[in-house]
Amino acid sequence: MRKLAFGTKIETMSSGHCIAVTSAGNNAKIFVGGVEITQSDIFNNGIIVVHSLNGFVAPLSPFSCNVERMTSLSFRIQNTRIDIDTRGRESACRKAMV
């Protein structure tokens, strides 16, 4: 995981849903979906890898897996604006579109 670029998205077992991989400035701590990995490779059969996390991960929306194909990191879907921050996390706010 340390070799992955900051913000790399990994598809979860829930098809089309991704989580972002980030790290602390010194790479001492690795985070998936904003949650710290406390122990890596608890299980690894070459296909599925399980890590111990310090909390729960909420997967990004299905749109997060394809955000690279978009021209902007801010887009609108059915009157909802979704912003992706530099850590790959999203926030949605509903407001009237003008």
Kindly tell me if the per-residue pLDDT of 8 is higher than 90.
no
Looking at residue 54, its pLDDT comes to: 92
Measured CA to CA, the distance from residue 63 to residue 88 in angstroms comes to: 12
User: Which tens digits make up the pLDDT trace of 21-42?
Assistant: 888 877 689 998 889 999 989 9
Which residues 6+ apart lie within 8 Å of 53 measured at CB?
32, 35, 36, 37, 38
Share of the chain above pLDDT 90, in %: 14
Q: What is the reported pTM?
A: 0.58
Q: Is 65 helix (H, G, I), strand (E, B) or coil?
A: helix
Measured in Å, how far apart are the chain's first and last C-alpha atoms?
A: 42
